[in-house]
């Protein structure tokens, strides 16, 4: 949980909006937590991804998989136990992962 909250704070540092941390342990078997957030533009989505990547590297942690970075509409960062989804607003609204995974418990994180 600490890693998910850390990533949420790194996203917040880059002014990501709508940050949610979801406890996925009782819902899926491929990760423990989702971090969902929104950037206003593809450029901001990439900046949020970069901010999380840089913050994790400073802590000696590495992202296992990064998808969608070049387009910057939906970037997925896979840390193994934590999966981070960074969307532009239209795609977040369209895919609506918040609703899709509504049975997952929301985790409070500090800003």
Length of the chain: 111
Which pLDDT tens digit goes with each residue over 77-100? 999 999 999 999 999 999 999 999
Q: Count up the domains in the chain and report the number.
A: 1
> How far is it, in rounded angstroms, from Cα 56 to Cα 24?
21
Q: Which domain holds residue 45?
A: 2-103
pTM: 0.94
Q: What is the CATH number of the domain that holds 36?
A: 3.30.460.10
The verdict on residue 110 lying in a domain is no
The verdict on residue 21 lying in a domain is yes
pLDDT of residue 87: 97
The verdict on residue 109 lying in a domain is no
The verdict on residue 31 lying in a domain is yes
């Amino acid at each position: 949980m600490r890693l998910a909250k850390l990533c949420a704070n790194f996203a917040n540092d880059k002014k990501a909006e709508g940050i949610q941390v979801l406890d996925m342990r009782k819902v899926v078997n491929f990760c423990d937590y989702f971090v969902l957030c929104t950037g206003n533009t593809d450029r901001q989505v990439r900046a949020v991804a970069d901010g999380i990547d840089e913050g994790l590297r400073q802590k000696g942690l590495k992202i296992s998989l990064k998808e969608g970075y070049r387009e910057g509409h939906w970037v997925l960062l896979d840390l193994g136990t934590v999966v981070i989804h960074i969307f532009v607003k239209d795609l977040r609204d369209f895919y609506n992962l918040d609703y899709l995974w509504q049975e997952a418990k929301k985790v409070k994180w500090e800003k």
